[in-house]
């Protein structure tokens, strides 16, 4: 589980690159922590627009990796918000129909009534075709510079005896998107039932976001591919950095044989947050334990820590993942003012936690795929 051969040089390179990307190389530890705290609270707004029954709720749940919305229940005429992710900072919004009877749904009032300008991305979901008001709404959104993604839901139902599905999809994209909105726009074909297009949609959403919100999305959205897991690993380094800057807190306890103190409550929170980033819920861990194809003994400590079985287990986990040899040298190389052995210890534990959680998530992803196609 722990990488005993991790060198201080490579370890410092990862940290140095992260600080440079943040524009915070050589900054004091408290300044870095404050910036990260604010970043983890920044809101990401994604609006889902489409007719009742088009599959908005199911798609929200697939992206989040958990139940946010009840599919097919009370498709109403009011805006419905679902907050999730770190600090409940990702806001999925089920937007009501445009151009309907209520006054606030009219062309003149809708934009202000539902604060459309705040959305970072608007996702247009349709099952068969776009109606006239849908087209009007999204043409205005595009004219005003909004990031728009077009999704044809329930793609598993696309079928014609005489035309190959690939040709049908080209015709649908040409007729409803390119002819209407322009050749630069494309259409994603997605099925929440089969999983088709989900990974492509996740990457399309991320491509529309600035760097900070993109990392937030990678940290929190469910992984459906190895490539998404790799991005999640990199984005989760900020989670480690956030908690490492708390390593000198009042809860610091000297770890036997390490020569450094660590804030145990913050470490538990860090491990749990990284586990949440990788979707390691109790339900998925139990699935892994019942179906894993390899020996899970080397993951016992992290699984126990995720299950919050006590401080003693956490200290044992810290000792297992401390990387004592790396700690001897890396404290001299940390490019953060005020950081010391406690920071280095927490950071090293956090990086190994990312590695282990990613491996567990990869195995769970494989099992879920096998279960899906049984």
Dump the DSSP string for 335-353.
-SBT--HHHHHHHHHHHHH
- Position 222 scores a pLDDT of 97
- Position 75 scores a pLDDT of 46
Helix then strand then coil, % of the chain, to nearest 5? 55, 10, 35
Percent pLDDT > 70 in the chain is 88
**Range among 126-130, 134-138, 176-180 rated most confident:** 176-180
- Position 4 scores a pLDDT of 38
**Greater pLDDT, 356 or 335:** 356
Whether the pLDDT of residue 2 is over 90: the answer is no
Q: pLDDT tens-digit profile of 131-173? A: 888 899 999 999 999 999 999 999 999 988 889 999 999 999 9
Distances (CA, A) of 370 to 1, 292, 293, 363: 25, 12, 12, 11
Whether the pLDDT of residue 281 is over 50: the answer is yes
- Position 51 scores a pLDDT of 83
User: For 214-241, what is the mean pLDDT?
Assistant: 97
- Position 331 scores a pLDDT of 59
Q: Which of 68-72, 101-105, 186-190, 368-372 has the lowest mean pLDDT?
A: 101-105
Q: Which of 48-57, 204-213, 272-281 has the lowest mean pLDDT?
A: 48-57
Q: Domains (ranges, CATH) in the chain?
A: 8-40+223-372 (no CATH), 42-214 (3.40.50.300)
Q: What pTM did the predictor assign?
A: 0.91
User: For 80-94, what is the mean pLDDT?
Assistant: 96
**Greater pLDDT, 315 or 365:** 365
Q: In degrees to the nearest 10, what's the CA dihedral of 155, 160, 161, 166?
A: -60
- Mean pLDDT for the chain overall: 87
User: For 105-128, what is the mean pLDDT?
Assistant: 88
Confidence of residue 329 (pLDDT cuts 50, 70, 90): low
| Contact in structure between 86 and 216 (CB atoms under 8 Å) | yes
As a whole number of angstroms, the distance between CA 326 and CA 330 comes to 6
């Amino acid at each position: 589980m722990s990488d005993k051969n991790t060198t201080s040089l490579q370890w410092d390179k990862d940290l140095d690159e992260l600080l440079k990307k943040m524009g915070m190389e050589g900054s004091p530890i408290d300044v870095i922590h404050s910036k990260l705290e604010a970043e983890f609270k920044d809101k990401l707004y994604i609006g889902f627009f489409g007719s009742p029954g088009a599959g908005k709720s199911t798609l929200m749940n697939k992206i989040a990796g958990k139940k946010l919305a009840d599919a097919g229940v009370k498709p109403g005429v009011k805006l419905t918000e679902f907050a999730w992710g770190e600090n409940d900072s990702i806001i999925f919004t089920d937007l009501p129909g445009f151009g309907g009877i209520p006054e606030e749904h009219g062309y003149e009032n809708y934009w202000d009534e539902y604060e459309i300008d705040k959305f970072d991305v608007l996702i247009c979901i349709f099952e068969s075709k776009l109606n006239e008001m849908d087209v009007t709404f999204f043409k205005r959104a595009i004219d005003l510079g909004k990031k728009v993604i077009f999704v044809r839901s329930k793609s598993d139902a696309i079928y014609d005896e005489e035309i190959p599905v690939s040709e049908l999809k080209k015709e649908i994209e040409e007729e409803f998107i390119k002819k209407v909105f322009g050749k630069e726009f494309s259409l994603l074909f997605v099925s929440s039932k089969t999983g088709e297009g989900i990974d492509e949609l996740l990457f399309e959403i991320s491509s529309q976001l600035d760097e900070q919100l993109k990392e937030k999305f990678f940290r929190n959205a469910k992984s459906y591919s190895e490539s998404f897991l790799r991005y999640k690993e990199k984005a989760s380094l900020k989670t480690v950095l956030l908690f490492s800057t708390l390593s000198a807190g009042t809860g610091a306890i000297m770890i036997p044989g390490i020569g450094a103190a660590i804030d145990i409550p913050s470490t538990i929170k860090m491990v749990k947050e990284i586990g949440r980033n990788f979707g390691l819920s109790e339900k998925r861990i139990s699935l892994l334990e019942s179906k894993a194809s390899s020996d899970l003994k080397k993951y016992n400590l992290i699984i126990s820590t995720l299950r919050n079985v006590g401080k003693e287990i956490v200290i044992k986990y810290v000792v297992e993942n401390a990387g004592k040899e790396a700690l001897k040298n890396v404290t001299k190389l940390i490019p953060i003012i005020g950081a010391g052995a406690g920071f280095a210890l927490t950071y090293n534990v956090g990086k190994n936690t990312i590695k282990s959680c990613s491996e567990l998530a990869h195995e769970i992803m494989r099992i879920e795929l096998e279960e899906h196609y049984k």
